Amino acid sequence: MLNNSSDLPLLSRDIASVVVFSADNKVLMGKKGLHSGGAYADSWHIPGGGIEVGESKQQAAIRELYEETGIVAKPQDLIMVEDIGHGEAEKTKDNIKYWCIMAFYRFVLHLPTTAAETKLCITDDLVELRWFDRAELKNVQQIPGGREFFIGQGWIDE
């Protein structure tokens, strides 16, 4: 596990994210650029980001999903996952480096379209989007805890 060895100032963030399943049972993941300043750069993760002041977890998930993928979701389309994840990483915000302590609130979205039929648009801090089948998820470099989350939900085998 990472630690705050540089004694950076602490930043606490609640994160809303969405596990997107296509009709052909693939999972959408994105990757941030190495110099984006976000936590876990250059690792695959599900679309999501920080919950803004006055925003519900569900509203944040819908907004972040759209900003990062171009996918429009309605509140009734999202199912909240009970497992709340936690993570820590260095993050740059407003040109200041922080040690970010995060709580991850995840939702599931099942699309009526296949991965090939789903139009994606990178519009935020991701540099790449890609659909993965369950076998690929076992071996792809994910953010810390990502693979374990998928195993815990029964979406991939150990």
d(CA 103, CA 95): 22
What's the confidence (pLDDT) of residue 61? 97
pLDDT in tens, 69-120: 999 999 999 999 988 888 888 877 788 888 889 899 999 999 999 999 999 9
What's the confidence (pLDDT) of residue 7? 83
Give me the domains of the chain, ranges plus CATH numbers.
Answer: 10-152 (3.90.79.10)
What's the confidence (pLDDT) of residue 93? 78
pLDDT in tens, 33-61: 766 656 677 789 999 999 999 999 999 99
